[in-house]
Amino acid sequence: MIPVTKTFLPPQEEYNSYVKRAWDKVWLTNRGELTIELEDKLKNYLNVPHITITNNGTIPLQIALKLFGKGGEIITTPFSYVATSAAIVWENCTPVFVDINPEYLTIDETKIEAAITSKTTAILATHVFGNPCAIEAIAAIAEKHNLKVIYDAAHCFGVTYNNESIFQFGDVSTCSFHATKLFHTGEGGAMFCKDEETQHTLFYSHNFGHNGPLAFHGLGINAKISELQSAMGLALFPYMEHIIAERKKVTDFYNANLNFKNLKNIKIRENTEWNYSYYPVIFESEAILLEVQEALAKENIQPRRYFYPSLNTIPYTNGAEMPVSESIASRVMCLPLYVGLPTLDLEKITAIINTITS
């Protein structure tokens, strides 16, 4: 089978060497030396002032919403993974959807202000497929209306915008270290911020609110990553340049060989150094998408309808109609993209798509 993605695994002996350190110390969780070492490496690699790594990529959104959402209305995008909206509802806030830009696929910043009410407390926007939102415009709106900005940057490891890490923007930015991501810890995530006060709150919030073993700064939850997860991150870390370079080769092949006469791909925002996290294509209709999907499946090729459905259509979000997002969600599909994907397989994928769409 040719899957939509394949987890990159470092040599097992290299992973085992890190696990042995945890084994020798009999220290498997509660911020052991592997977790601290990984945070330091990531902070330097990503050039960010503050990072707290977590046990998954959704809980940073929940923590940020607990801090900044305050049970209010959260302006958000309908075109994202379900975790974005689910976290809002889970934290007893109300998602207020704003439609998306049809080229960048990120939230349409020109429609945000019209959605703001007296109950609005924050904007939660997704850098879709690692493609940055209109950061400057969103920052100006947030400042004008005294709102917090949370970025779901789950796909953004290594992305820079205007020569700065994408994680530098917003009041809190989050990332996923799930096994399907470029950088992963098997399961995991991280939250980033710019100032000491926010970092202090994020940090104690991810560790039950602890201030030492017997006192508490405030309310917290258990979002700590284990040493076994951190071991995977440390073992994977030396391969990041290789991973990104190999994914770029696959992306370049699709760009050169797909016929875009009746097919579109995502437009990457200007001044962005992208990470080749996904390869979405947008068909002219859902019927053509389904025909392509069926033809690929016959060859044991498994792309993914991602993101589908548009989140405003999920019953618990009670969302209004979002014509652009609903249209894109019905017609977008991510093609196989991973390290080691053979050229022969890429030729087969592009030939099938070109035959049907041309």
> Catalytic residue at 181?
yes
Count Cβ atoms within 10 A of the Cβ of residue 348 and give its class: 0-12 exposed, 13-18 middle, 19 or more buried: middle
How many C-beta atoms surround the C-beta of residue 263 within 10 A? 18
Catalytic residue among 70, 181, 194, 224: 181
Side-chain half-sphere of 269: how many Cα atoms within 13 Å? 23
For residue 74, give both structure tokens.
């959260």
Residue 213, C-beta contacts closer than 8 angstroms, at least 6 positions apart: none
**8-state DSSP, 320:** P
DSSP reduced 3-state for 252: helix
Residue whose C-alpha is closest to residue 54's, from 168, 150, 176? 176
- Chain centroid, CA 334 distance in Å: 14
Alpha helices in 130-171 (DSSP H): 135-145
Q: Catalogue the active-site residues.
A: 181
